[in-house]
Structures are given as C-alpha cells and as structure tokens.
Amino acid sequence: GIGLPETQYSVILKHSMLLLRIGFTSMCCYIFIFIMNSAGFLFFSPITLDPNTAYSWLSLSSDLTSVANSGSLKQLPDNPERFGHFVFVLGSEGFTSGRHAWEVDIGDKVDWMLGVVKESIDRKGRISGCPEGGFWMISHYEGEYSAMTRPSTPLHPEGELTRVRVQLDYDSGEVIFSNPVSMTPIYTFNDFFTEKMYPFFCPGANINGNNPKPLKICPVKVAVWNSATW
C-alpha cells in the first residue's frame, strides 16, 4: 500500500465512485483508480460474455451479462473458440496479470459452475474439469457444493449461495471464491499461471425445465479490499 491515512481512503473512494458513476474517464479518473489500487482497494472488472465461445444450447442476454441453458439447440457457426460438447461460455476478456474480481448472481439455481480457465483448454473434445486440466472452479449439483479438484473437495458454505464473488490474483496464482452476501470465504485455489485466464460460466443442465434461470454477472462496483478473503 501507499500508506494513506484511513480518512483519505474514504475521500478517494467517494470521489472515485462519483467519477465512475458519471462516466468520467479522463486521466484524473485513472489517477484515482491507481491510487485506490495502491491503497488496497478492490476494483471489480467489467465482465461480459463472449458469444463466440457459447455452446449452442446457451442463450445470452443482449447486453452479454447473463447466460441460461435454453434447452434447445441453435444453429451457430462451429468456430474454433466455441465449446462443442458442454454448456460453457467464457468472458470476453482474458487476463495475464493483476487482480480482478466479479460477482455472479445465482439466485435459486440448482446446477451451476463458476470460475476461471486457461486459454488453451480443449473446446471440442474431452476435458478434465480440474486445475490439472486448466479449470479452477466450484460447482453446485444435486444439492452439494464442491471445489473441482481431483478428487473433488466438498464445500460447506454458510447457508445457500445466491451470489458468488470470484477473485483472480494472477501474479500470486490465486483463485478465491467467497460469499459477498455474508462476507465469508468459500474456497481458494493456489497455483501458478502461465497463460491467459478467462472467466468461466456454466448454467448447468436444464432438463424438463428444472434449471431454466440464468447466471447473471453483477454490475461493476468499487469495494474496499477484504483482507479476510484476499
């Protein structure tokens, strides 16, 4: 950090949030952002979905911030980026350094996966949904939460998860999941990253209309860095 007094934190936060709220993007705003990052504040990265990666059963919102399993096949180009066998979609921007965070509104979905993946994962063939296969993610399936390790690690969050925060610290090799509602940790992966990492979303199966609701990326915001979960 840069050792700013606590009172200056609140002043910086107030002015930065005002600048961002009114769409101010001049150098002054970037100076505020730099100061806040240096002072230990967490900036949420603006995440949108990449339609070119979406499996053909998925429906994306027009603003590319939510994804649902439509339960029906769409005729889409079989481009190299698109997943060919699994209901997955990636974020449009990948990361090769720095700290990034985003939150996903899950609601009452009964089947989902969230996390990050490395750029080189196989989009068309078999996958290994664990860090060894390029996936760092957690899941909810048949009433159970798991970290997708090998073998999987059972998770026991405090109550049902309705929103999940994903934090990627590329340089430190961390992927951290937490509950922003209760401000409690869920799981942390520790690894070493060597290629571009992308946000990963899977809305799960939708059989007979049992899991139709979307995963929704929450709007960008500014928040105080939470040392308990980062």
What are the DSSP calls for 123-159, one per residue? SSS----SGGGTEEEEEEETTEEEE--SS-EEE--SS
In the structure, how many helices (H) and strands (E) does the chain have?
2, 15
The pLDDT value recorded for residue 85 is: 87
pLDDT confidence bin for 42, thresholds 50/70/90: low
Q: Specify the 3-state DSSP secondary structure of 204.
A: coil
CATH number at residue 124: 2.60.120.920
User: CA-to-CA distance for 24 and 51, rounded, in angstroms?
Assistant: 28
The more confidently predicted of residues 14 and 132 is 132
Quick one: which of 20, 61, 65 has its CA closest to 47? 65
- Checking if the pLDDT of 228 tops 80, the result is no
pLDDT confidence bin for 14, thresholds 50/70/90: low
Is residue 9 in a domain? Answer: no
Least confidently predicted of 106-120, 134-148, 207-221: 207-221
Q: Is the peptide bond before 151 cis (omega within 30 degrees of 0)?
A: yes
The pLDDT value recorded for residue 39 is: 47
- Per-residue pLDDT, averaged over 75-103, amounts to 94
Host domain of residue 109: 47-219
Is residue 53 in a domain? Answer: yes
